[in-house]
Amino acid sequence: MSAPLPAAEPHSKNSHRDPLLIHAGKGYAIMYSIWGRFRDILQRGSPLVDVNPLLLSPLDRGYREEYINLLSIEPKIADLLADRELPDLVRDLEKGRNEFRNSQVHSISNQISSWGIGVPDDKHLRGFGNDICGRLLCPSTKDWGDPIARERLQTLQADVTIDNFPRFLWEGERVDPQDMNKGFLRGELLVKALLSILIGPAAARPGGQCSGAGGYADILNMQTLTVPSLAFGAAVTRFALSAETKCRWSFSKEDMPGFNYLGFYQKITLAVGKWRDEDQRSLLMWWNRMILSHLRGGPHATQLNGAPEPGSAAALMIQQATGAIAAPH
């Protein structure tokens, strides 16, 4: 059972922070987007809910979809729009989203050294100067084992762009040049990051056990992960592996220092958004098994107590062990 949501506070001249809206902002960040203007979503999307999307411009369809996504996190927002001042709603939604984003950037950066992969505790000792971090951050188009390529990455950070995704995003860090979508967003390090974010930090550690109670997946009653969920996990993990001490989430000029994590996040969502629907569903089903199965009683949870499913391997093993049926020859 998911944790109860905080009750909405009535509007007052003091403009108290509303925990319900802050909660909704956090949920929107992990499920749908770490970017976007809540003012436009509320103002332009809310009047279009009952309009046939085929009659709308692409821009208005986008606002309508974003507003519906926001309502899926907190349906009471529709009522609050009539009772509250728009600036108050926007302020609290943005506060929730910013709190979530910043807290997870900090948390993953601190936690990653405890995941048993050899990342140093000191952030300044990470990045391409560290062999383990450098290998994980290595652009998928480069070979970290090539001394020339490695030196260029360490000295010039050549080809380190938001478009050249790092190898840690691929399963086993293996990139097939003939099919670069194969294994993408199934990397073991990314699994650990999303376990930490959605289930709890203990779930990402070697041998870690965590029921998920009180984690974001539990609080939000998540039924499925989304591509933006994966992109956010990728962005905060990429920052955690780097030697950078400030995470840049903006559309600032390209010549400003620091890696553009917002651009990186959006490039991932754009790339996967071009996949066939069945391939996207397959990816998310895989992630639901990897993450949501940790929730006790959740939609993808493994039954922990009671009799196993008839005909399953567990059921047959129990029957054989108790002599109920003969073992096959």
Neighbours of 214 (CB within 10 A): 13
Q: Hey, where are the domains in the chain?
A: 19-105, 115-294
Task: Name the nearest CA neighbour of 192 among 280, 106, 298, 117.
Answer: 117
Task: Give the Cα separation of 11 and 13 in Å (integer).
Answer: 7
pLDDT digit string (tens) for 78-128? 999 988 899 999 999 999 999 999 999 999 999 999 999 999 999 999 999
Residue 319's pLDDT is: 67
Q: What is the DSSP letter of 163?
A: S
Mean pLDDT, residues 23-35: 93
Q: What's the predicted TM-score (pTM) here? A: 0.83
Under 8 Å between Cβ of 126 and 142: no
DSSP string, 87-151: HHHHHHHHHHHHHHHHHHHHHHHHHGGGSSS---SSGGG-GGGSHHHHHHHSBTTS-TTSHHHHH
Residue 8 has pLDDT above 50, yes or no: no
Q: What helix, strand, coil percent values describe the chain, rounded to 5?
A: 55, 0, 45
Categorize the per-residue pLDDT at 254 as very low, low, confident or very high, splitting at 50, 70 and 90. low
Residue 301's pLDDT is: 47
Residue 12's pLDDT is: 44
- Of the chain, the percentage scoring pLDDT greater than 90 comes to 68
Mean pLDDT, residues 45-70: 94
Residue 36's pLDDT is: 82
pLDDT digit string (tens) for 215-234? 889 888 899 999 999 999 99
> 3-state class of 248 per DSSP?
strand
Contacts of 253 (CB under 8 A, 6+ apart): none
Task: Give the Cα separation of 130 and 128 in Å (integer).
Answer: 5
pLDDT digit string (tens) for 162-209? 999 999 999 999 999 999 999 999 999 999 999 999 999 999 998 877
> 3-state class of 6 per DSSP?
coil
The conformational region for residue 272 under phi > 0 = left, psi -120 to 50 = alpha, else beta, is alpha
Residue 84's pLDDT is: 87
The pair of three-digit structure tokens given for residue 306, joined into one six-digit string:
């009671």
